[in-house]
Structure 1
Amino acid sequence: MTHLLKMPTKQHDLLITGEIGRWDEALPLGNGLTGCLMWGNGHPLKLSLDRGDLWDNRLAPEALAEDYTYANLIELVKRKDMDAIRKRYQFNRFTVTPTKIPAGRIELTWGRKADRMDFRLNLSTAIGESKLQFGDSECLVRAILHAKDGIGYVRVSGNAELPFVSIVPPSYSAPDGEENVAWDSLALLQYPDPKVLEEDGWIIYRQKTCELLEFAIVVGSKMVNSDQLELAYKIVTNKDGADWLIQAKQDISRALRTGWEAIVESHSKWWESFWAKSSITLPDQETENQWYLTNYFLGSCSRKGSPPMPLQGVWTADEGRLPPWKGDYHNDLNTQLSYWHYLKANHLEEGESFLDFLWELRPAAKQFAESFFDAPGICLPSVMSMEGKSIGGWAMYCTNLINQVWLCQAFDHYWKYTGDHIFLEQRAYVYFSETAACLLRWLTPGTDGKLRLPLSSSPEIHDDTLEAWLTPNSNNDLALLHYFFETLHTMALLLDKEGEAERWCRIRGQLPDLAVNENNVLMLSPDESLKESHRHLSHAMAIYPLNLLSYHRSEREKLIIDSTIRNLEELGKGLWVGFSFAWMANLYARQGNGEAALYQLKLLWENLCSVNGFHLNGDYRKRGITAWHYRPFTLESNMAAADALQEMLLQNYDGVIRVFPAVPAEWKRENIKFERLRGGLGSLVSAEWGKGKLQFIRLEAEKDAVVRVQNVFGTEWLILEKENKQMPITVSADGTYQIQLLKGESVTILPEAAQGE
């Protein structure tokens, strides 16, 4: 039996016919730090540029004031002074910064609009192409952002005249005499006028900000022949070294001497290695394409050594305005969902960007815990800048104490998927323990002896009204607390810290039970159930992603899961946004309902995503899917949808590997396959379903591990193949069996009837 990993082919490419009139419909290119969006109509063709660490980090004075504290918020909530709360904590409404900022735009202009345009994004090589036709003449523009050297390359060829090349700076200052600008205009940043220099084949746009940061776009060019032009560009900042501009020109000159073919070859090798990590094969081509496109997004905008993706990744808005929600790091859902799928997809380094970021922000988290929460330990703001500073916002969410627990889960997930014991000891347990110190400052026993928070909420129930503070503890907060202390207890036992394990277990025992109403539905809080459609499914956190309730453990838990999902169906999708559909698909996957899970994903992909795949939050085409008709681009729903699709193919949330646990019946009549998805504890899992039954499961071990697998072969008689040796085993239908693996070993599990096939 041979196992060749499937690579993206032309059928996975992103194709867009006709001109692209908006930046959020553009072909996206990226290398983790730098981003490029290719769009336009030839008059001009635009390359909108971004760099992940381009931030204006100026803090609002309110974020530094002595009364910006949790204790003050508690007092204002007691007084029911919503006006004072909004004035004190929602300073993001009347401040422009901190914010992510765009770099600028390279424009290629032919002097007139093209008669026809076709765009293609080759996923396998991460090359963007734009083909322009002007009458009988044709021009092909190919572009990459090199996967390793940080330089952008463009080749223009064809029998049409070559374009005029220019740089268009963002509108960082208001035009002379114009005083009234839009509330979200880039002009509000009031930067000094840009400098654009063109000489000796170079175009350099240099921009000072109102901080020490200064950045530039440097473009060099060479004529290959009379009908072929090559460009190379780089976005650089004064943080890159003392001779940052000189170094950029040297790098670009060297790149131009190397030439397009050699550059593309080295660039393509990185992407070949990326795609070799995992693959899927589905009978539904569009769904398969979405998985590959989302992994392309991940590889483009999240790389180890670069900042993790904020709301828009490395594709900041190019429309003269601040990016949606200032392109911030939203820790009440968005950052967490953005890093849901990478582990199972086996793209570790891309996700490590987020873990490294959180780890390096521990000093900022310690400072915020001390200044805002009057507590030891660590806690990051739930709406924050790249430096981990509070941006402000709805007080019940932007300063939520418990969202820090959801960030902790990123460390727990990494340990569970990789089985990296050193990471568990030196990173995960440390991060959890430091978070616990902050939480315990505010968890106090009530009259019944149960621990409660002084303020509790459920993102983003009741928006920014007094009703948003629910009776403590909300199920959102309570589920996170149960998960947190249970996980700490497990980690401590694994690390032989018995005394600490006992402490964490004791604290968890002091928490109230989750609130469940008379209809067996998870509630918002002990005295309130969800009564209307809502975008956040946060009251169901215990089902997914926290896995506190299991569909396979007890009839009671199964009943609660079924009843909660049914209640969400009754309330409807009217006030959902994109991530609601992805989250709901995950709930259905837990239920084993593949038809419903896939339907939710298709609603998202077909109605709330742009032509280039970008998730736009709302039903912007007004198809009647939801009542939200806006279109702010954010990435978390793309990633969460890929996670739900992977959960349909493979689950291991309770220590048991289950293959194809929630796939549609129609798929099972054809062929389904996945290769090298992560199954937990350093195991890589491959499996294939064909001819109406499970054909094989293959396990590869990166570390010594004992794994449990559910028997879904439809027979009790199985064969284990290891090192060309076969061992028969007998396992009851739907029962589980245990396999011990040593590092580097591979074992294939087959139904006995398949022996010798």
Structure 2
Amino acid sequence: MLPDQFQTFAAEFPLEHVHTGVAAGNGFLGLSVWGEGDTVNVTVSSSSLWDHQGGEIWSPEQSYKNICAALAKQDENRMKELFPWYKLVPSIIPLARITFPLDGAHKVELSHRDSLLTVFGKNKRAEIRLSQSEKGVFAIRGVSDFRLIPGYDLAPVLKERGFAEPERLADGFRQTMPKDPAFGIRYAKGAGATFFRFSRDVIAAASGNWSALEEENRRFWNDFWMKVPELHSGMTEIDARYYSGLFQFQCMTSADGFPAGLQGPWIEDEKLPPWSSDFHFNINVQMCYWPACRAGLFDNLKPLWKMLESWKEQMRHNAKCFVGIDDGYMIPHAVDDRCVCMGGFWAGTMDHTSAGWMAMMMFEYVRCTGDIEFLKRFGFDFMRGVMRVYEAMLEFDGSHYAIPWLTSPEYRGIAMDAVGRNPSFHLAAIHRLLSDIFAAAEMLHCEVPAAWHEIQEKLPWYSEEDGEIALWEGLKLDMSHRHHSHLAAICPFDSLHIPEDVVERSVGAWVRFGMGTWAGWSMPWAAMLHNRFNHPDMACMILKMWPSLYTNKGGRTLHDPQFPGFSVGLVGTNRIMQMDAGLGVVAAILDLFLYETQGVLELFHGLPEANDALCANVPAPGGLRFSGNRREFSFTAERDAVLNFRFPAGEWMDVAENAYTAGTLFSKEMKAGEQIAFYRKG
């Protein structure tokens, strides 16, 4: 249930640009409400509205062999030949803006209870709703005088990309595209409300009933809040971000929506979005979807899986060009919704853990849902195909396997020294993927190549330099860096096999270099790491700091800090909105209550002992649900499951009065529907 204190969010005018706007969505269409003075703007955008012109299809010349040869010679010109920058790349494009006058407009309020957006004026208000079932439909009530402005009229870049003038209709517009189906919006004024419909190709007429839409919204969101986990951390600012973040996640990634890129369905209306609002697979997509398994919104992953499955032919082609095999899968780190590469940034294009990380997320989904049919149809095939590419990249010297050349994501950009041998990030990814493949093969009662067991045995788990986890052989962390890639064996890959003293020294260096170049998405990942480093106070502090640093007055999540002095950032502006950090924060908050390491669940590990915390209905891998507080807790099996957890601080007993101390490992096979409970002594 949604607690009363978190049911609404409000922002005062002025809200000067689209990404200070207060936003709602349905996993396909996004609305951002902003403005100043007596002018209210509603930016309408869609995560599906791709202009597919430009980009790069992988060529045989861009082989791993050729890349390694160029890197070995430090041949920057050759790397530029292999990976040219393209002036024209695919991008999500502006859709439209609706603008209307409202005397004394001063505040926008969003109801998390039913997604109603209300703009308050001096003597009247405007209300805005969008449908969760009819994905292109939204409505405005209380406004009769408005302008619907096509994106073409606001964004000169569309004309530069070859777009023609839109067709102006009496009730909207129709915009043709150079390579894709036309799109448009039409509206219909009714008694008290105007309905709008966004559609493609044939632009459908708008219609609707406000009361019916209101009832649909209330029913949908009531069902949503009933099924997600309930949390109380004892820290209001953290709880507020959890509930607002869950709302944003659902608005961005519905089960019947379109896969979400960097900005989800909330796109600028006057220019192209940064990085095309594409799919960045070196952390951003993963973080955007972290809440799915953590919050039990498993079906929200299905549009993403469907998109990846539709890429099979292209991913096979990529692997063939890269390492010369016919049974591999490879994804460049930045692509459009058809797996077309954005080009230029070779360090990301060759980052095969972009695919490896997605393979791990697929298996996590299977473990949480028990969706064996998905594993049979595509998941296991994808996991094996990704591993085949890793296998083809490895060298063997007779005793050990090694990765000859690879990056540690975004470290040193595309400088010639931005790569090395055996990056810890990719070593950890390979080991986690192998572990998942072996487990998946056992589920499906099938064999895996014997060579993969040998790779697991003879591939290093990490690289070490001066007693620290190295980024790659010979290089330990030497600066503040936004991507905590060298620590990925601890989180999120959980491959471990690193001595405690090495971890301790690595953490010390990481803390010493500090947060001076971090992005918004660096923060939740850092909180999850501190949780695992037994720093609960720091994990919570980061999550409490993040909203002040990386969200603006409209509640939108930012790539760079909203004011100078904390981090130098990357892009030099506080106007770039990305959804990854806010959704990573949701996962990091759930992580405070429950996370898994090496198959064992840790309870309340990220919360200071003094906090009066409680949770209900938190999913865990294997088909389990966790509920409880500092005095009692329970697990319920949704299907036959194996429960493994460590007892949190205190002394505990079960209903049979068996006693357990903190840190004790508890294991039990549970049947579907079975519940087991524990109570704190004293």
TM bucket (normalised to shorter chain) is over 0.9
Instruction: Work out the CA distance in 2 between the residues paired with 1:735 and 1:563.
Output: 27
Instruction: Work out the CA distance in 2 between the residues paired with 1:625 and 1:383.
Output: 25
Are 2:470 and 1:523 aligned? yes
Instruction: Work out the CA distance in 1 between the residues paired with 2:286 and 2:14.
Output: 35
Are 2:160 and 1:165 aligned? no
Q: Which residues of 2 match residues 597-616 of structure 1 at below 5 A?
A: 597-616=539-558
Instruction: Work out the CA distance in 2 between the residues paired with 1:510 and 1:313.
Output: 41
Instruction: Work out the CA distance in 2 between the residues paired with 1:64 and 1:546.
Output: 28
Instruction: Work out the CA distance in 2 between the residues paired with 1:420 and 1:696.
Output: 31
The answer for the alignment partner of 2:237 in structure 1 is 286
Instruction: Work out the CA distance in 2 between the residues paired with 1:367 and 1:76.
Output: 22
Are 2:164 and 1:213 aligned? no
Q: Which residues of 2 match residues 127-206 of structure 1 at below 5 A?
A: 127-133=116-122, 138-157=123-142, 162-171=143-152, 185-198=157-170, 203-206=171-174
Q: Which residues of 2 match residues 534-613 of structure 1 at below 5 A?
A: 534-549=481-496, 557-613=499-555
Gaps of 5+ in 2: none
Letter in 2 for 1:368: N
Tell me if structure 1 keeps the 8 A contact 2:519–2:559: yes
Shift of 1:152: 3.5
The answer for the alignment partner of 2:621 in structure 1 is 680
Tell me if structure 1 keeps the 8 A contact 2:172–2:186: yes
Tell me if structure 2 keeps the 8 A contact 1:13–1:121: yes
The change in CA–CA distance for 1:152 and 1:495 in structure 2 (over 3 A counts) is closer
Tell me if structure 2 keeps the 8 A contact 1:712–1:734: yes
TM-score, with length taken from structure 1: 0.85
Measured against aligned partners, the alpha-carbon deviations of 1:281-331 in whole angstroms (never above 9, x if no partner) come to 23221211101111111100112233221000000122x221011111111
Q: Which residues of 2 match residues 438-457 of structure 1 at below 5 A?
A: 438-445=389-396, 447-457=397-407
Letter in 2 for 1:125: D
The answer for the alignment partner of 1:109 in structure 2 is 101
Shift of 1:348: 1.1
The answer for the alignment partner of 1:736 in structure 2 is 665
The answer for the alignment partner of 1:124 in structure 2 is 113
Instruction: Work out the CA distance in 2 between the residues paired with 1:653 and 1:294.
Output: 24
Shift of 1:626: 4.0
The answer for the alignment partner of 2:49 in structure 1 is 54
The answer for the alignment partner of 1:430 in structure 2 is 381
Tell me if structure 2 keeps the 8 A contact 1:488–1:504: no
Instruction: Work out the CA distance in 2 between the residues paired with 1:334 and 1:713.
Output: 34
Tell me if structure 1 keeps the 8 A contact 2:623–2:639: yes
**Pairwise CA RMSD of aligned residues?**
2.2
Instruction: Work out the CA distance in 2 between the residues paired with 1:68 and 1:516.
Output: 30
Instruction: Work out the CA distance in 1 between the residues paired with 2:583 and 2:253.
Output: 12
Letter in 1 for 2:623: G
Tell me if structure 1 keeps the 8 A contact 2:6–2:244: no
Shift of 1:64: 6.2
Q: Secondary structure at the match of 2:307?
A: helix
Instruction: Work out the CA distance in 2 between the residues paired with 1:149 and 1:272.
Output: 18
The change in CA–CA distance for 1:398 and 1:317 in structure 2 (over 3 A counts) is farther
Instruction: Work out the CA distance in 1 between the residues paired with 2:58 and 2:567.
Output: 42
Are 2:483 and 1:489 aligned? no
1:695 to 614, 631, 645: 631
The answer for the alignment partner of 2:198 in structure 1 is 235
Instruction: Work out the CA distance in 2 between the residues paired with 1:686 and 1:395.
Output: 46
Tell me if structure 2 keeps the 8 A contact 1:493–1:501: no
The answer for the alignment partner of 1:296 in structure 2 is 247
Instruction: Work out the CA distance in 1 between the residues paired with 2:129 and 2:432.
Output: 43
Instruction: Work out the CA distance in 2 between the residues paired with 1:186 and 1:32.
Output: 24
The answer for the alignment partner of 2:9 in structure 1 is 14
The answer for the alignment partner of 1:691 in structure 2 is none
Instruction: Work out the CA distance in 1 between the residues paired with 2:139 and 2:430.
Output: 51
Shift of 1:379: 0.9
2:587 to 639, 643, 652: 643
Letter in 2 for 1:731: Y
Shift of 1:469: 1.7
Measured against aligned partners, the alpha-carbon deviations of 1:444-467 in whole angstroms (never above 9, x if no partner) come to 21x353223342110111111100
Shift of 1:47: 1.3
Q: Secondary structure at the match of 2:106?
A: strand
Instruction: Work out the CA distance in 2 between the residues paired with 1:8 and 1:355.
Output: 32
Shift of 1:360: 2.6
Measured against aligned partners, the alpha-carbon deviations of 1:98-153 in whole angstroms (never above 9, x if no partner) come to 1111211122235xxx43411111011111111112xxxx2211112111122433
Aligned length: 678
Shift of 1:213: 1.8
Tell me if structure 1 keeps the 8 A contact 2:594–2:602: yes
Shift of 1:663: 0.6
2:77 to 66, 76, 83: 83
Instruction: Work out the CA distance in 2 between the residues paired with 1:710 and 1:174.
Output: 56
Q: Which residues of 2 match residues 312-327 of structure 1 at below 5 A?
A: 312-318=263-269, 320-327=270-277
Q: Secondary structure at the match of 2:151?
A: coil
Q: Secondary structure at the match of 2:124?
A: strand
Shift of 1:10: 4.7
Letter in 1 for 2:544: K
Tell me if structure 2 keeps the 8 A contact 1:173–1:187: no
Tell me if structure 2 keeps the 8 A contact 1:42–1:109: no
Instruction: Work out the CA distance in 2 between the residues paired with 1:715 and 1:401.
Output: 46
Instruction: Work out the CA distance in 1 between the residues paired with 2:162 and 2:101.
Output: 29
Instruction: Work out the CA distance in 1 between the residues paired with 2:194 and 2:330.
Output: 45
Shift of 1:713: 6.2
Shift of 1:625: 4.1
Tell me if structure 2 keeps the 8 A contact 1:153–1:230: no
1:514 to 455, 459, 462: 462
Q: Secondary structure at the match of 1:369?
A: helix
Instruction: Work out the CA distance in 1 between the residues paired with 2:503 and 2:309.
Output: 34
Q: Secondary structure at the match of 2:330?
A: coil
Q: Secondary structure at the match of 2:606?
A: coil
Tell me if structure 1 keeps the 8 A contact 2:31–2:42: yes
Instruction: Work out the CA distance in 2 between the residues paired with 1:168 and 1:414.
Output: 41
Are 2:579 and 1:630 aligned? no
Are 2:66 and 1:72 aligned? yes
Shift of 1:665: 4.1
Instruction: Work out the CA distance in 2 between the residues paired with 1:597 and 1:716.
Output: 26
Instruction: Work out the CA distance in 2 between the residues paired with 1:673 and 1:394.
Output: 45
Q: Which residues of 2 match residues 345-494 of structure 1 at below 5 A?
A: 345-376=295-326, 377-445=328-396, 447-470=397-420, 472-494=421-443
The answer for the alignment partner of 1:182 in structure 2 is none
Instruction: Work out the CA distance in 2 between the residues paired with 1:612 and 1:665.
Output: 33
Shift of 1:42: 6.0
Letter in 2 for 1:340: W
User: Between the two proteins, what is the percent identity of the paired residues?
Assistant: 20
Q: Secondary structure at the match of 2:165?
A: coil
Letter in 1 for 2:12: T
Q: Secondary structure at the match of 1:646?
A: helix
Shift of 1:705: 1.0
Q: Secondary structure at the match of 2:505?
A: helix
Letter in 2 for 1:586: M
Shift of 1:221: 1.1
